[in-house]
């Protein structure tokens, strides 16, 4: 039994070790996992970014969790929620912005929704066609506390707050010349753009905000002039029909140019207000003044009508432009029969243009003018040019002006004494001319001729009668030459001038008083004419004498003699009193009217319509492209139809003109653009993914 | 076949190599044939089971919270968690695929957690299920564990294949990593379990 095999002896003493000492290393794994998990959770929470809210009028295409927030085209956050403001007035987009961006956000931040856009200036936002819209933001990099809620913009702002440059305001009457994003050119180079035009508070003026990028904004001075250079400009001049076309983009979307035609402008502050002129010429011609911005205002009072004087007519001093008429207003003085209408004209004068230092004030100008007024300086009206009906104000020394002085204390502006308008001076001039005509010693001349003829008569009755006819004829010829030349010859010319002046005066004079004066002048002219005719009364005597001569020279060619004399007289008469001579000024005016009409027709005619059609086409093309890029070929087709239409336009004008060649070059440009679009469309058809990858 | 009549190797002072099956005396600590460590019972087994189990559970939480797949289509990125993906598949009426994903990614891992926890618990505390059933349970858990990786494989294959630059792009999310870790940890947990303990407990209860 004892040998019985026993199971192997086994030490079965279960140890009771400390649970810690026996701890498995594997426990490190869950601890590590826990730490890592907590770490990830904490980081996710910490990196979550800050929630900002942006209010939009319209948040088409913005989706929670998908739409991203961009800064300089880099994603900086994601939209988390799209809701409404408390009053449901606006869409409230909540977006989470990356933490590293948050410190830079401040109240200057601007946000807008980027959508695909096709304009004449180019295509933008194409990447959003497939990926959906995104929100772009920009702000000044100064940093600072960020508000919780931002106001979103409807569209990309004209000026990125980070862009450097100057923002100015243009005023115009017609808002159609610009649109949002209209380029601003300087010597044909784009240096800025405009915002959409808006009306001022009163609704009478269209304001256009324009932004000129640095460093070009230093070209802006107070002397700078802006004008609209969109579309065609067709002008008819001595060198034929000329067509001026800016860039293709400017043709479609308009453009604004600026330049500085004068020196002496001062740098402008942001927000400076400029007038937008219709074209370059009017910008140039109106370009005076307010150059320095430092002007003083004086007043003057004219008696009687100042019809034709409007703001901003020129103010001239010693023939130089020194300012502009600011306003013309009428007031009544006296009572009853003494009642008289006076016109108060406010003159805006630039001291710099008078040769005074740039910073001169009103006192300096008055100091300069005061002694001059004492010596006879007066304000008077003057016609701006020979044919026009516009008036200007001239400060000139008037001989024989009554004593007057500069009224420094007048309210509200110092008053410069005036003399009756120069329009009356013109009448006086006419009168003087007639007086001179009157004063010509025609009678003496004729008497001399008569006595000469008398001498001839005595000679003719003499013995050398055979030689007389020829001598007489020669003598008559000489007499004719005598009358024809020198002072006599000046008579028709001066009368012609007088008539021209008379014509202008009649054209211009509208008010009763002047007409009365004019009629009195005409009366005196009549008297002068009467004098002239009495003087001419002696002519028949001359003829009689001639007839006598003819009678006495019986066998000689008397008819020839009489005829030549009559011819001469008729000729002189016809010259002075010819209908054609009288008709010259109206004919000239009519010609100008026709010219003007032609220009107006050209401006308002088919050219603009075609441009508008082109714009409409481009706009609809834009819409098509917004919907789907597949419509590109139709844009091409439209451009081709534009070309076709333009060709029709060309055929309407003659061949081989400047207009033609300019237009043809423009059409080539359009065709090239159309070809580009076509090739773009083709390449898109071939490899649509190039649109996606931007290759 | 009655359990009562069987004398266990342990009773006989023998210990089998778990690797090659050779039987040694109880005093041996190393298999003379394959060199594997010998022990009659793995005393740290339960500890390791619980450690791996907890690690797996911890990893399973972010696996469900964070996105599994990051799909970017035309620049717009879409994140999908496991459950989110299943719901989306149901939206697309792909019920079969939805069921497979749901089964592999949710049902199996959770059942595994429950099963392992139950087995480990039953070793230490009296339990109602007989040892044989628990042995089957254990084998099932060990077998089926690897199939949970199906989701991870799908993610790996998709992100390797679907790389079309801008058009479609698929990237694995954090959840893919943590889910893979979770599955791996639960598999280790199941492997750490010394199934012989089931019988010990059974015997203890009977005696």
Q: Do A631 and A536 share a structural domain? A: no
What is the rounded CA–CA span in Å between residue A130 and residue B75?
Answer: 8
Of A226-240, A274-288, A373-387, A409-423, least confident by mean pLDDT is: A226-240
pLDDT at residue A224 is higher than 60 = yes
Of A10, A23, A37, the CB nearest to B61: A37
| Residue carrying the six token digits 């058009």 | B167
- CA dist list (Å): A648 to A198, A440, A641: 36, 64, 10
Of A134, A137, A135, nearest in space to A160 by CA = A137
Of A218-222, A481-485, B198-202, least confident by mean pLDDT is: A481-485
Note the pLDDT of residue A677: 72
pLDDT at residue B108 is higher than 80 = yes
Distance of CA B4 to the CA centre of its chain: 32
Q: Do A461 and A359 share a structural domain? A: no
Note the pLDDT of residue B5: 59
Note the pLDDT of residue A27: 84
Q: Do B49 and B25 share a structural domain? A: no
Is the Cβ pair A30, B74 closer than 8 Å? no
Residue A538 near residue A447, CB atoms below 8 Å: yes
Q: Is residue A25 part of a domain?
A: no
**Pairing status of strand A122-124 against strand A117-119:** antiparallel
A206: alpha, beta or left? (left if phi > 0; alpha if psi -120 to 50)? beta
Which pair of structure tokens corresponds to residue A8? 């192997």
Residue A502 near residue A583, CB atoms below 8 Å: no
Q: Is residue A193 part of a domain?
A: yes
Q: Do B73 and B23 share a structural domain? A: no
Of B81, B178, B190, nearest in space to B146 by CA = B190
User: What residue spans of A359-467 are helical by DSSP H?
Assistant: 362-374, 422-439, 442-460
Chain A residues lying within 8 Å of B77, measured CB to CB: 66
Q: Do A563 and A441 share a structural domain? A: yes
User: What residue spans of A142-211 are helical by DSSP H?
Assistant: none
Q: Do A227 and A121 share a structural domain? A: no
Q: Do B159 and B70 share a structural domain? A: yes
Q: Do A441 and A405 share a structural domain? A: no
pLDDT digits (tens, 9 = 90+) for A293-311: 567 888 888 876 666 677 7
Note the pLDDT of residue A584: 52
Q: Do B145 and B180 share a structural domain? A: yes
Q: Which domain holds residue A574?
A: 426-494+505-581
Q: Do B201 and B102 share a structural domain? A: yes
Size of interface A-B (CB pairs under 8 A): 70
| CA dihedral (A76, A77, A82, A86) positive or negative | negative
Please compute the mean of the pLDDT values over residues A498-519 and round it to a whole number. 60
Of A29, A689, A693, the CB nearest to B55: A29
pLDDT digits (tens, 9 = 90+) for A597-650: 655 655 555 544 554 555 565 555 445 545 545 545 555 666 666 666 656 655
Q: Which of A381, A399, A420 is the last residue of a domain?
A: A420
Q: Do A202 and A134 share a structural domain? A: no
* Mean pLDDT rounded to a whole number for chain A: 71
Is A191 exposed, middle or buried, given 0-12, 13-18 or 19+ CB atoms closer than 10 A?
A: buried
Chosen for mutation from B7, B74, B84 (greatest number of chain A CBs closer than 10 Å) is B74
Chosen for mutation from B52, B81, B187 (greatest number of chain A CBs closer than 10 Å) is B52
Listed ranges A512-521, A533-542, B105-114; the one with the highest mean pLDDT: B105-114
Q: Which of A420, A437, A472 is the last residue of a domain?
A: A420
Q: Is residue A597 part of a domain?
A: no
Chain B residues lying within 8 Å of A66, measured CB to CB: 76-78
pLDDT digits (tens, 9 = 90+) for A258-281: 888 777 677 888 888 888 887 777
pLDDT at residue A554 is higher than 60 = no
Q: Do B162 and B121 share a structural domain? A: yes
Rounded percentage of chain A residues whose pLDDT exceeds 90 = 1
Q: Do B5 and B30 share a structural domain? A: yes
* Between A593 and B78, the higher pLDDT residue: B78
Q: Which domain holds residue B15?
A: 1-40
Q: Which residues touch B167 (CB under 8 Å, ≥6 apart)?
A: A689, A692, B73, B74
Chain B residues lying within 8 Å of A22, measured CB to CB: 43-44, 47
The interface predicted TM-score of the complex, written ipTM, equals 0.77
Residue A143 near residue A90, CB atoms below 8 Å: no
Q: Do B82 and B27 share a structural domain? A: no
Q: Do A481 and A344 share a structural domain? A: no
pLDDT digits (tens, 9 = 90+) for A192-211: 888 878 888 887 788 888 88
**Pairing status of strand A149-153 against strand A50-56:** parallel
pLDDT at residue B111 is higher than 80 = yes
Q: Is residue A326 part of a domain?
A: yes
Q: Do B77 and B26 share a structural domain? A: no
Predicted confidence band at A345 (pLDDT cuts at 50, 70, 90)? confident
Chain A residues lying within 8 Å of B52, measured CB to CB: 26, 29-30
Longest dimension (CA), chain A: 216
Predicted confidence band at A373 (pLDDT cuts at 50, 70, 90)? confident
Is the Cβ pair B58, A37 closer than 8 Å? yes
pLDDT digits (tens, 9 = 90+) for A114-167: 887 776 666 777 777 767 788 988 888 777 777 888 888 887 777 777 778 888
- The tally of domains found in chain A comes to 5
pLDDT at residue A1 is higher than 70 = no
Predicted confidence band at A178 (pLDDT cuts at 50, 70, 90)? confident
Q: Do A195 and A139 share a structural domain? A: no
Note the pLDDT of residue B57: 92
- The tally of domains found in chain B comes to 2
What is the rounded CA–CA span in Å between residue A54 and residue A66?
Answer: 16
- What H or E segment, with its residue span, contains residue A640? helix A632-652
What is the rounded CA–CA span in Å between residue B23 and residue B16?
Answer: 4
Is the Cβ pair B26, A7 closer than 8 Å? no
pLDDT at residue A408 is higher than 70 = yes
Q: Do A448 and A576 share a structural domain? A: yes
pLDDT at residue A538 is higher than 80 = no
Note the pLDDT of residue B114: 92
Residue A67 near residue A78, CB atoms below 8 Å: yes
Is the Cβ pair B47, A37 closer than 8 Å? no
Question: Cβ of A692 under 8 Å from any chain B Cβ?
Answer: yes
Question: Cβ of A693 under 8 Å from any chain B Cβ?
Answer: yes
Q: Do A538 and A469 share a structural domain? A: yes
How far B76 CA lies from chain A's nearest CA (Å)?
6
Is the Cβ pair A22, B178 closer than 8 Å? no
Q: Do A219 and A91 share a structural domain? A: no
pLDDT at residue A493 is higher than 80 = no
What is the rounded CA–CA span in Å between residue A101 and residue A181?
Answer: 29
Please compute the mean of the pLDDT values over residues B123-148 and round it to a whole number. 82
How far A256 CA lies from chain B's nearest CA (Å)?
38
Chosen for mutation from A26, A65, A135 (greatest number of chain B CBs closer than 10 Å) is A26
What is the rounded CA–CA span in Å between residue A358 and residue A172?
Answer: 29
What is the rounded CA–CA span in Å between residue A65 and residue B77?
Answer: 9
Which pair of structure tokens corresponds to residue A609? 């319509």
pLDDT at residue A484 is higher than 80 = no
Is the Cβ pair A130, B44 closer than 8 Å? no
- Nearest chain A residue to B65 by CA distance is A41
Q: Do B179 and B88 share a structural domain? A: yes
Q: Do B127 and B80 share a structural domain? A: yes
Those of residues 33-52 in A touching chain B at CB distance below 8 A are 33-34, 37, 40-41
Is A135 exposed, middle or buried, given 0-12, 13-18 or 19+ CB atoms closer than 10 A?
A: buried
Rounded percentage of chain B residues whose pLDDT exceeds 90 = 8
SS3 B70: strand
- CA dist list (Å): A170 to A41, A233, A247, A422, B35: 57, 21, 21, 37, 96
What is the rounded CA–CA span in Å between residue A617 and residue A628?
Answer: 16
Note the pLDDT of residue A695: 44
């Amino acid at each position: 039994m004892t040998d019985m095999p026993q199971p192997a002896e086994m030490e079965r003493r279960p140890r009771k070790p400390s649970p810690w000492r026996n701890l498995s290393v594997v426990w490190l794994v869950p601890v590590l996992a826990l730490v890592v998990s907590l770490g990830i959770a904490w980081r996710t929470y910490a990196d979550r970014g800050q929630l900002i809210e942006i209010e939009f009028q319209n948040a088409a295409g913005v989706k929670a969790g998908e739409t991203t927030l961009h800064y300089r085209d880099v994603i900086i956050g994601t939209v988390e929620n799209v809701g409404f403001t408390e009053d449901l007035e606006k869409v409230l987009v909540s977006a989470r912005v990356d933490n590293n961006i948050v410190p830079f956000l401040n109240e200057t931040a601007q946000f807008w929704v980027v959508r695909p856009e096709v304009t004449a200036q180019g295509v933008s936002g194409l990447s959003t066609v497939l990926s959906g819209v995104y929100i772009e933001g920009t702000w000044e990099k100064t940093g600072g506390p960020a508000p919780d809620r931002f106001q979103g913009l409807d569209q990309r702002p004209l000026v990125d707050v980070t862009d450097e440059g100057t923002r100015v305001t243009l005023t115009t009457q017609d808002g159609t010349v610009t649109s949002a994003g209209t380029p601003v050119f300087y010597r044909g180079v784009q240096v800025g753009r405009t915002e959409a035009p808006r009306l001022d508070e009163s609704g009478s003026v269209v304001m256009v905000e324009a932004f000129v990028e640095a460093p070009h904004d230093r070209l802006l001075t107070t002397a700078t002039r802006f004008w609209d250079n969109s579309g065609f400009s067709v002008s008819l001049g001595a060198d034929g029909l000329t067509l001026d076309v800016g860039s293709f983009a400017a043709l479609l979307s308009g453009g604004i140019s600026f330049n500085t035609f004068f020196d002496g402008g001062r740098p402008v502050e942001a927000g400076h207000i400029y007038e937008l002129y219709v074209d370059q010429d009017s910008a140039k011609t109106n370009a005076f003044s307010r150059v320095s911005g430092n002007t003083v205002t004086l007043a003057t009072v004219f008696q009687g009508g100042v019809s034709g004087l409007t703001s901003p007519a020129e103010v001239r001093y010693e023939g130089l432009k020194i300012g502009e008429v600011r306003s013309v207003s009428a007031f009544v003085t006296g009572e009853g029969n003494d009642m008289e209408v006076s016109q108060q004209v406010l003159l805006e004068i630039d001291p710099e243009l008078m040769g005074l230092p740039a910073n001169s004030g009103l006192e300096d100008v008055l100091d300069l003018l005061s002694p001059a007024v004492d010596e006879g300086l007066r304000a008077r009206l003057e016609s701006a040019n020979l044919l026009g009906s516009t008036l200007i104000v001239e400060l000139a020394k008037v001989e024989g002006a009554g004593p007057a002085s500069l009224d420094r204390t007048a309210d509200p502006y110092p008053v410069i004494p005036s003399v009756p308008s120069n329009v009356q001076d013109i009448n006086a001039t006419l009168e003087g001319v007639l007086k001179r005509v009157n004063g010509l010693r025609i009678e003496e001349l004729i008497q001399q001729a008569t006595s000469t003829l008398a001498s001839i008569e005595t000679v003719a009755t003499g013995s050398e009668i055979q030689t007389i006819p020829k001598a007489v004829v020669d003598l008559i010829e000489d007499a004719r030459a005598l009358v024809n030349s020198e002072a006599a010859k000046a008579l028709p010319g001066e009368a012609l001038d007088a008539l021209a002046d008379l014509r202008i005066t009649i054209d211009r004079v509208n008010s009763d008083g002047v007409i009365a004066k004019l009629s009195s002048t005409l009366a005196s002219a009549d008297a002068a004419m009467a004098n002239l005719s009495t003087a001419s009364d002696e002519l028949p005597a001359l003829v009689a004498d001639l007839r006598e001569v003819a009678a006495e020279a019986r066998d000689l060619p008397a008819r020839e003699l009489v005829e030549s004399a009559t011819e001469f007289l008729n000729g002189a008469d016809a010259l002075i009193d010819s209908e054609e001579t009288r008709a010259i000024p109206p004919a000239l005016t009519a010609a100008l009217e026709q010219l003007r009409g032609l220009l107006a027709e050209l401006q308002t005619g088919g050219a603009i319509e075609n441009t508008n059609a082109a714009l409409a086409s481009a706009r609809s093309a834009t819409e098509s492209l917004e919907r789907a890029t597949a419509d590109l070929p139709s844009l091409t087709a439209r451009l081709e139809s534009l070309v076709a239409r333009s060709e029709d336009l060309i055929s309407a004008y003659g061949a081989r003109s400047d207009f033609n060649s300019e237009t043809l070059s423009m059409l080539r440009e359009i065709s090239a653009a159309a070809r580009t679009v076509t090739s773009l469309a083709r390449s898109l058809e071939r490899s649509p993914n190039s649109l996606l990858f931007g290759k | 076949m009655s359990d009562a009549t069987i004398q266990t190797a342990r009773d006989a002072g023998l210990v089998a190599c778990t690797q090659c099956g050779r039987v040694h005396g109880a005093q041996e600590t190393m298999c003379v044939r394959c060199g594997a460590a010998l022990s009659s019972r793995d005393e740290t087994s339960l500890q390791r089971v619980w450690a791996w189990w907890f690690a797996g559970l911890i990893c399973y939480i972010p696996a469900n919270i964070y996105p599994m797949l990051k799909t970017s289509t035309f620049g717009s990125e879409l994140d999908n968690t496991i459950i989110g993906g299943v719901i989306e598949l149901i939206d697309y009426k792909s019920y079969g695929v939805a069921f497979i994903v749901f089964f592999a990614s949710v049902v199996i891992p959770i059942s595994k957690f429950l099963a392992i926890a139950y087995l480990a618990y039953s070793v230490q505390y009296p339990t109602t299920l007989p040892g044989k059933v628990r042995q089957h349970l254990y084998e099932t858990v060990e077998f089926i564990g690897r199939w949970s990786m199906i989701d991870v494989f799908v993610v790996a294959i998709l992100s390797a294949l679907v790389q079309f630059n801008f058009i479609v792009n698929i990237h694995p999310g954090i959840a893919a990593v943590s889910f893979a870790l979770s599955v791996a940890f639960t598999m280790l947990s199941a492997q750490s379990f010394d199934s012989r303990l089931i019988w010990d407990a059974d015997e203890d209860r009977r005696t």
